[in-house]
Amino acid sequence: MSVEQAEQREHRKRDREATRRRILDAARDLFGEHGYEGVTVRMIASAADANTALVNRYFGSKAALFGEVLAGESALRGVIAGDPAGLPRRLAEHFVRQASLHRVTPMARMIDRSAGSPEVKQILLGYLEDVIIEPLVAQLEGPNPRARALLASTIIMGGGPVRRLLGLNDLRSADPAELTDRLTAMFTAALSPCSPAPPHSA
């Protein structure tokens, strides 16, 4: 391969990566604004200055694109990874950071406005497994790691409905250090090994 051919190939690769990034950014914004059902592939392609064939070539379907946007927006993978002993504290700090924001994050908007779609339900189940539950299980030792991961997940994911129904002003007005300590205790309790169930009486 000549130098010129190598440069052309590298240029095409950069173009593909830039186009793919534009599509992801456009999809994130549109899903957050209109919800899954209110967005078409044509709308995403137009906002990304691409064509629908490229969207389908890079992502396969609108559902797959939604799933990739969702996975890419999540910071939880980085929060969960690391020293298992510090996991409850990291989860608490992440929760407090999210609660302190005075704007709804793109991912939260996407979930809030799309959760009613049957297609999105399956994507969200996959997201919950791949991004939260399985990484948590991998950090845990002892019996029933999945049950403990699910319990911690209810704390993590429960912030969404509370935010939608009640708002987070009361949490934002609380002392962040105290809030972090309380949440650390909650996550520690959720992730700690469970006592075995008592035997059933005859």
Higher per-residue confidence, 198 vs 80: 80
Q: Over the stretch 21-39, which tens digit does the pLDDT of each residue have?
A: 999 999 999 998 888 889 9
- Whether the per-residue pLDDT at 177 is higher than 80: the answer is yes
What was the pLDDT predicted at 119?
Answer: 81
**What's the CATH number of domain 74-191, 1.10.357, 1.10.1660, 3.30.1490, 3.40.50?**
1.10.357
The predicted structure's pLDDT at residue 9: 60
User: So what's the pLDDT on residue 42?
Assistant: 95
- Quickly count: other Cβ atoms within 10 Å of residue 39's Cβ: 23
Instruction: Kindly list the domain boundaries of the chain, sorted by start residue.
Output: 3-61, 74-191
Task: Say which CATH class 3-61 falls into.
Answer: mainly alpha
Give the global pTM: 0.70
Please state, as a whole number, how many other Cβ atoms lie within 10 Å of the Cβ of residue 104: 15
Q: Give the pLDDT confidence of 52-83 residue by residue, as tens digits.
A: 999 999 999 999 999 888 877 677 888 999 89
52 is written with which tokens?
């629908």
pLDDT in tens, 179-195: 899 999 999 999 998 76
Instruction: Tell which wins on pLDDT, 19 or 110.
Output: 19
In the predicted model, is pLDDT for residue 1 greater than 70? no
Q: Which residues, including other chains, have CB under 8 Å from residue 168's CB and lie 6 or more apart?
A: 99, 159, 162
pLDDT digits (tens, 9 = 90+) for 115-161: 777 888 888 888 889 889 999 999 999 999 999 999 999 888 766 65
Report CA-CA distances (Å) from 29 to 25, 50, 109, 173.
6, 16, 9, 29
